[in-house]
Amino acid sequence: MEARQQAKLNQVVCTLEGMATLLQRTPGDFAVVIHGDPDCANVLMHGMDHPGAHRFFCTHLTPDEAVAGRTLPVLRDCLDALCEELAPEVVFVLGTCLSTLVGDDVDPVIRAASARHGVRVVDLAGAGMRFVSQAAVVDRFARLMAGAAPAAVPAPRSVNLVGFDPGREVRQQLAELGVVINAVLDPGVPVTEWQRLCAARWNLVLDRVLFAGFLSDCSDRGIEPLEVAYPVGAGSTDAFFDRVLAAVCPGVDSDAVLAGPREAAHREVATGLESTRGVRLGYNLGSKKDLSPRTLAREGLAEVSVFEELGFEVLLLVQGDDRPARVAAVRETLTALGCEAPLAVFSDTVFYADLCGDQRVEVTYASDHLRDLVAGAGVGLVEQGVLRPGYGGVAGNVRRILAAMKPRGGRP
């Protein structure tokens, strides 16, 4: 884990930004208080596609209150008003740079408010000017959600899908094979879904390290971790089913359910190979900040197999510090994850297009905010996150990749 941290392959966030983002995505009967200046409320996203902002409140601290040491009474007033007027089941309190700077000890205020109103108030300590990895935030969030899950008797062959949703097709195939999906625990699902946690026997994850704390907590409650490949592309979907079935339903004959789709997917790959074999593809790591476990799993490598099985000559294009010590840590980390593809590092997104040119990249799998840059360089872009899971997703994925190669006039 230490080498992975040094490699810094996912962008850092502050605890406020990370936890606020994940809590905003999560439906549930809770409110969040941001204890800081008004600007800190702007880590939230707004608009119809980002529901949940109305459950957030802010102490709106002024510089005068900070200088005069009057910040904690404001928090107390906020908690009182919130508990009296809305009375949510839980109130989470997030600190900020400002509350850290003035050294606010929020614990006594929180405990007193909780006692006064009978509402659970939780201090999500750790905010302020401290970097944390997105992975650490995701793990912490999962532990927070899991903490409130009641004990339950797990059903036989029952699994939680933690941090990823393999899509309707895969879920249906799992069900037909006798695997009971107890809960899909991806950030964004309601709190009520997290409360089903303990009714499963296994937690399926794409990356045990990503959820180290959560899985440890769950193991204490009798839920076993099971690391699986992300079922995207033909080969990784094979690996996913092989691993799940071996652990959960040993001996089950899967051919009746999977043989047809599997063969069709492998045929699509074979056809795609005719156009993609040997094409140089830049696989971007470290540019996306979406707090998505699927993006973060295996330091971003969860989908690289899609391009490897299509015969691309994969080059990893890694954003961040380009000094030798960090580059060495990146290499070590990627090798430990089983990836020996060559890599190149760029320190700033504005250099991405030049790097693609220097490395003779024809098409790139990259974060969508790099689209303008790579388009200017005549490099095709497959947007990270668009690949569909399951055998049924393979044909569409191949079409999408081939379409991205067309603007360059490359092999169609």
Footprint of other proteins (CB under 8 A): 12-14, 16-17, 21, 33, 36-54, 56-63, 66-67, 77-78, 80-82, 84-86, 96-98, 100-101, 128-131, 289, 347-351, 369-373
User: Nearest approach, Cβ of 162 to other proteins (angstroms)?
Assistant: 25
Under DSSP, is residue 38 helix (H, G, I), strand (E, B) or coil? helix
User: Nearest approach, Cβ of 308 to other proteins (angstroms)?
Assistant: 29
Under DSSP, is residue 263 helix (H, G, I), strand (E, B) or coil? helix
Q: Which is nearer to other proteins, 178 or 188 (CB)?
A: 188
Q: Which is nearer to other proteins, 37 or 193 (CB)?
A: 37
Under DSSP, is residue 93 helix (H, G, I), strand (E, B) or coil? strand
User: Nearest approach, Cβ of 372 to other proteins (angstroms)?
Assistant: 5
Q: Which is nearer to other proteins, 275 or 349 (CB)?
A: 349
Q: From residue 85, how far is each of 41, 88, 89, 118, 203 by CA, in Å?
A: 21, 9, 12, 13, 38
Specify the residue for token string 């927070």.
144
User: Nearest approach, Cβ of 79 to other proteins (angstroms)?
Assistant: 9
What CA–CA distance (Å, rounded) separates 239 from 256?
Answer: 17
What CA–CA distance (Å, rounded) separates 17 from 24?
Answer: 10
User: Nearest approach, Cβ of 358 to other proteins (angstroms)?
Assistant: 16
User: Nearest approach, Cβ of 101 to other proteins (angstroms)?
Assistant: 5
User: Nearest approach, Cβ of 124 to other proteins (angstroms)?
Assistant: 14
DSSP lists the bridge partners of residue 160 as: 183, 203
User: Could you tell me which of 125, 50, 61, 73 has the C-alpha nearest to residue 95?
Assistant: 125
User: Could you tell me which of 64, 106, 222 has the C-alpha nearest to residue 158?
Assistant: 222
Q: Which is nearer to other proteins, 15 or 160 (CB)?
A: 15
Residue 243 near residue 228 (C-beta atoms within 8 A):
yes
**What are φ and ψ of residue 203, in 5° steps?**
-105, 115
What CA–CA distance (Å, rounded) separates 221 from 233?
Answer: 34
What CA–CA distance (Å, rounded) separates 167 from 294?
Answer: 13
User: Nearest approach, Cβ of 82 to other proteins (angstroms)?
Assistant: 6
Q: Which is nearer to other proteins, 134 or 158 (CB)?
A: 134
C-alpha count within 13 angstroms, C-beta hemisphere, residue 95: 23
User: Nearest approach, Cβ of 106 to other proteins (angstroms)?
Assistant: 15
Tokens of 172: 């249906």
Q: Which is nearer to other proteins, 59 or 182 (CB)?
A: 59
Q: Which is nearer to other proteins, 53 or 209 (CB)?
A: 53
Q: Which is nearer to other proteins, 63 or 250 (CB)?
A: 63
Under DSSP, is residue 239 helix (H, G, I), strand (E, B) or coil? helix
Q: Which is nearer to other proteins, 130 or 360 (CB)?
A: 130
Q: Which is nearer to other proteins, 73 or 147 (CB)?
A: 73
User: Could you tell me which of 250, 211, 213 has the C-alpha nearest to residue 227?
Assistant: 211
192 class by beta-carbon count within 10 Å (0-12 exposed, 13-18 middle, 19+ buried): exposed
User: Nearest approach, Cβ of 3 to other proteins (angstroms)?
Assistant: 22
Tokens of 163: 């941090």
